[in-house]
Amino acid sequence: MPVLVMKFGGTSVATLDRIGRAAKRVAVEVSKGYDVIVIVSAMSGKTNELVGWVNETSPFYDAREYDAVVSSGENVTAGLMALTLQEMEVPARSWQGWQVPLLTTSAHGAARIEDIPPANIMQKFGEGMRVAVVAGFQGISPEGRITTLGRGGSDTTAVAFAAAFEAERCDIYTDVDGVYTTDPRVCAKARKLDRIAFEEMLELASLGAKVLQTRSVELAMRYNVKLRVLSSFEEPSDEAGTLVCGEDQIMESNIVSGVAFSREEAKVTLVTIADQPGIAAAIFGTLAEAGVNVDMIVQNVSETDYQGHEGRVTDMTFSCPTDQLKRAEKALEAARDAGRLKFDQLWAETDVAKVSVVGIGMRSHAGVAAKMFETLATENINIKVIATSEIKISVLIERKYLELAVQALHDAFELERA
Ligand code: ADP
Ligand code: ASP
Ligand code: MG
């Protein structure tokens, strides 16, 4: 029988009542003749609570134990979903990641999926089971320990299952009815997109649009998974939601297709470092070893013999997620104390946010950056750091201007119009 993957996010399984509603949708697909793999998230708020408990217990925690704790939310919803389906007389069984098994690397907290052998679940389908409910977000490392896939990782679980089982479609049920030109909670004029190209979705996701985890889009692109985002609160139809697909399946697109943002950014400047070969490698090597995900990087113009320093010196600025700032500071200071790095001061700013405009049309159109900077200037918003790639431009700004910036850019690029 054809296989369908249906993923329900935290808000869609937040209460027993909502689990019941989700189960009804699953039952409809079963009645159409599909064997269904349901991927569930933890009830909304649960993972945050678990992460909070870990941080309170151990600020520089052992990542293996972090995973042991934060993976547990999904176990509850998987069991409850299977029970709900059984109550509806749909043959269902729950699976934790290790039982499948969903094999991952040992990068705890951000593990990558290596393989999902389908044999166990296929055997059950063969015996008449119609729904496999799988706890999202979790897997098992080569050492036999529980791993998690990074926040929002259930999306990736879903797409990986769709690829492994050659599913007809992967439907991501969430609390919005599709992918919008920007977060509809921040900009009332945001417009739902019927289709979005993999590359654009990849950029939007990696630049902060929560709706799909970046890795899930990468996998969908690689394995050509038919990926759809839709609401678990509205009546489903064949046209519902947003289809994430190849560029060739999109008739015409705007130059800019979306605005993404991330509130949780921190900016760090190392003041007065030597400007010589190997310094950047030493700084970013130290950060990589500490597991810090560095995003934007700027190195200032250097000065010679600055305030008694010998040779050329410069400043280095980078951004990283706010929750990794402490880790970054600790690693850099430890490297300085050990004599592996030299800098006069470390300045950390935590009141910054990143706003980005994304669109494949940028490849062939000039002037997007100028328009973006002009728009921000008109609103009197100062740009702290700029980064660009082929299809995106990102800026770091003061966090209190974030909403204003998103709305102004949405207007400037006329995203409310198709
Ligand atoms: P789930 O719990 O179902 O995984 P998430 O909270 O992870 O849901 O993702 C859905 C949320 O993503 C929406 O509620 C919305 O606020 C946010 N979001 C951010 N950018 C976008 C966008 N461009 N389109 C749709 N939703 C977006
Ligand atoms: N529950 C996990 C999280 O909140 C995974 C997910 O929902 O995708 O990040
Ligand atoms: Mg999510």
Q: What is the pLDDT of residues 203-219, one digit of tens each?
A: 999 999 999 999 999 99
The CB of 212 under 6 Å from ligand 1? The reply is no
Residue nearest to ligand 2 atom 8, measured at CA: 152
Please tell me the predicted confidence (pLDDT) of residue 357: 97
Residue nearest to ligand 2 atom 5, measured at CA: 152
Please tell me the predicted confidence (pLDDT) of residue 305: 67
What is the value of pTM for the model shown? 0.93
The CB of 109 under 6 Å from ligand 2? The reply is no
The CB of 211 under 6 Å from ligand 1? The reply is yes
Please tell me the predicted confidence (pLDDT) of residue 88: 98
The CB of 42 under 6 Å from ligand 2? The reply is yes
Neighbours of 254 (CB within 10 A): 17
Question: CA-to-CA distance for 67 and 87, rounded, in angstroms?
Answer: 31
Question: CA-to-CA distance for 75 and 68, rounded, in angstroms?
Answer: 11
Q: Supply the DSSP symbol for 192.
A: B
The CB of 407 under 6 Å from ligand 2? The reply is no
Measure 370 CA to ligand 3 centroid, in angstroms. 33
The CB of 175 under 6 Å from ligand 1? The reply is yes
Question: CA-to-CA distance for 19 and 10, rounded, in angstroms?
Answer: 10
Please tell me the predicted confidence (pLDDT) of residue 240: 87
Please tell me the predicted confidence (pLDDT) of residue 117: 98
Q: Which ligand is nearest to the CA of 13?
A: 1
Measure 16 CA to ligand 3 centroid, in angstroms. 19
Sheet order of strands, 227-231 included: 92-95, 131-135, 35-40, 3-8, 169-174, 227-231, 242-245, 195-197
Question: CA-to-CA distance for 290 and 334, rounded, in angstroms?
Answer: 11
Q: Supply the DSSP symbol for 300.
A: P
Closest ligand 1 atom to 182 CA = 23
Helix axes 16-31, 72-87, angle to 10 degrees: 60
Measure 40 CA to ligand 3 centroid, in angstroms. 11
The CB of 152 under 6 Å from ligand 2? The reply is yes
Closest ligand 2 atom to 157 CA = 8
Measure 152 CA to ligand 3 centroid, in angstroms. 4
Helix axes 63-70, 72-87, angle to 10 degrees: 20
Phi and psi torsions of 325, nearest 5°: -60, -45
Closest ligand 2 atom to 73 CA = 1
The CB of 343 under 6 Å from ligand 2? The reply is no
Residues of the chain with pLDDT under 50: none
Q: Which ligand is nearest to the CA of 136?
A: 2
Q: What is the pLDDT of residues 111-161, one digit of tens each?
A: 999 999 999 999 999 999 999 999 999 999 999 999 999 999 999 999 999
The CB of 154 under 6 Å from ligand 2? The reply is yes
Please tell me the predicted confidence (pLDDT) of residue 32: 96
Report the chain's mean pLDDT, rounded to a whole number. 94
Residue nearest to ligand 2 atom 9, measured at CA: 151
Measure 9 CA to ligand 3 centroid, in angstroms. 6
C-alpha distances out from residue 368 to 197, 256, 297, 357, Å: 19, 8, 21, 9
For residue 149, what are the contacts with CB-CB under 8 A and spacing of at least 6? 104, 110, 111, 112, 113, 137, 138, 139, 156, 157, 213, 215
The CB of 9 under 6 Å from ligand 1? The reply is yes
Please tell me the predicted confidence (pLDDT) of residue 247: 86
The CB of 179 under 6 Å from ligand 1? The reply is yes
Question: CA-to-CA distance for 44 and 46, rounded, in angstroms?
Answer: 5
Q: Which ligand is nearest to the CA of 150?
A: 2
The CB of 257 under 6 Å from ligand 1? The reply is no
